[in-house]
Amino acid sequence: MKQTGRRTFLRLIAGAAVSGSVLDGLLRKTGSQPLGPASTQAADGLKLGLISDLNGSYGSTDYSSAVERGVTLLMQQQPDLVLCAGDMVAGQKRSLTNSQLKAMWAGFEQSVWAPLQKAGVALLPAIGNHDGSSQQHQGGWIYGRERQQADLFWGKHRGNLQSGFIESKRFPFQYVWRRPGLFVVVIDASSANVDSTQRQWIQKALNSTHRQPEDLCLVMGHLPLTAFSEGRARAGECISNPQELAGLLRGAGVDLVISGHHHAWYPSESMGLRLLSLGAMGSGPRRIIGSGVFSPPSLTLLEWSRPSELISETTIDLNTLQPITNNDLPAQVSVPGFPVARRRSMQWQRSSLI
């Protein structure tokens, strides 16, 4: 981070700690819902930090200033939990050695995981194509070493998630996690292939007896069900055969499907589901199809106020620390061969039909 930018940002954060929240002031200016004070969250609701796509170039062990700002913002906002939709490190290159892969996860630990852990914020990961792609060739993993290192890292760091696991045999690739009021199914969408075995597992997971009717039900995976950004509307960049999987998720009453990979923030509805394509927290901003604007580095805060049942999403531009309005997003993203996604409101109720 450049010194001037860092100083300005630290001043903002310091001000926020003293005066309630500078960010809340920014939100009020734009007519968005204020964020709850960092110290009083979750008394009668839930506050989640949603992030994705942190990685830099292949092999890199450090993170951009936008990621640093995002981590600091999360520490200040103290969500109940952070969900990361994948691409935490920069693998998926066969020439990277095991020690390089290890060094990348150590970099993630130092820059992201440890500061959050120290601030008492747990992080639920989904595995992205750069963390450990599930792409196969002749029945074997193409990026097996990446998957092994991801497995080792998260095996070592699963401790603070332990109390929430409902099913964790394939953690961190596929697992079910619950706390009162929240039911999360993490799927392995680290490549386009979410096969029939996994689809059966997802169905079973969503029908778990541990899931309560009042739980907010989230499904998170790296690749999305449809195309959002330029350069990503092609085979291999979205989950294959999405209609069938969408039908399964719709039938199971999933509230929100969260994805990354397209580096473009777009809250939408598609195939009868509520979707959230997260912007990249790090580098590689992309243009939403039909839009002239690149999606800036961002993170999303999701707050659920139980008494009103209102769920409110606020997405923060990590360059300006301003909330982003969805007014500038195209009304729909429509690409031949992919399900149409229509822009939706950032405020919604669980019971509302979409």
Question: Across-strand partners of 140?
Answer: 137
For residues 292 and 161, what is the distance between their CA atoms, to the nearest angstrom? 40
Out of 33, 129, 298, 314, point to the residue binding Fe ion (CB under 5 A).
Answer: 129
Both tokens of residue 140? 């074997």
Q: Which is nearer to Fe ion, 129 or 291 (CB)?
A: 129
Nearer to Fe ion, 38 or 112 (CB): 112
Closest by Cα among 332, 321, 266 to 6:
321
Q: Is the dihedral of CA 311, 239, 317, 58 positive or negative?
A: positive
Q: Among the candidate windows 41-49, 155-163, 253-261, 294-302, which touches Fe ion by CB under 5 A?
A: 253-261
- Map residues 176-215 to x or -, x wherever contact with Fe ion holds by CB under 5 A: ----------------------------------------
Q: Which residues are registered as beta bridge partners of 220?
A: 186, 258
State which residue has the least CB distance to Fe ion.
261
Comparison of 223 and 346: residue with beta carbon closer to Fe ion: 223
Residue 131 makes contact with Fe ion by CB under 5 A: no
90 or 254, CB closer to Fe ion? 90
CA dist 260 → 24, 29, 197, 213, 286 (Å): 26, 28, 23, 27, 12
Stretch that binds Fe ion, among 7-15, 38-46, 124-132, 322-330 (CB under 5 A): 124-132
Stretch that binds Fe ion, among 84-92, 150-158, 207-215, 321-329 (CB under 5 A): 84-92
Q: Does 255 bind Fe ion (CB under 5 A)?
A: no
- Give the distance from CA 223 to its chain's centroid: 11
Question: Can you state the angle between helices 242-251 and 196-206, rounded to 10 degrees?
Answer: 10
Closest approach of Fe ion to the CB of residue 261, in Å: 4
The verdict on 125 binding Fe ion (CB under 5 A) reads no
Region near Fe ion per CB under 5 A, out of 34-42, 80-88, 154-162, 174-182: 80-88
Measuring CA to CA, how many Å separate 237 from each of 98, 169, 261, 329?
Answer: 26, 27, 8, 21
State which residue, 35 or 85, has the beta carbon closest to Fe ion.
85
Shorter beta-carbon distance to Fe ion: residue 263 or 344: 263
Q: How many CB atoms lie within 10 A of CB 239?
A: 21
Residue 53: in which H helix or E strand, if any? none
Q: Which is nearer to Fe ion, 84 or 121 (CB)?
A: 84
Per CB under 5 A, 232 contacts Fe ion: no
Largest CA distance in the chain: 59
Answer for which of 128, 224, 282, 323 binds Fe ion (CB under 5 A) is 128
Show contacts of 93-97: CB within 8 Å, 24+ apart: 93/58, 93/59, 94/142, 94/143, 96/58, 96/59, 96/145, 96/146
How many other CB atoms sit within 10 Å of the CB of residue 344? 19
Binding mask 259-298 for Fe ion (x = CB under 5 A): --x-------------------------------------
Is residue 172 involved in binding Fe ion (CB under 5 A)?
no
Which helix (H) or strand (E) covers residue 117, if one does? helix 114-118
HSE of 199, CA atoms in CB hemisphere, 13 A: 17
Q: How far is the CB of 52 from Fe ion (least distance, A)?
A: 8
Which window, 77-85, 254-262, 284-292, 328-336, contacts Fe ion (CB under 5 A)? 254-262
Single out the segment in contact with Fe ion by CB under 5 A; choices: 129-137, 231-239, 276-284, 288-296.
129-137
Whose Cβ is closer to Fe ion: residue 231's or residue 290's? 231
Task: Tell me the number of residues near Fe ion by CB under 5 A.
Answer: 4
Binding site for Fe ion (CB under 5 A): 87, 128-129, 261
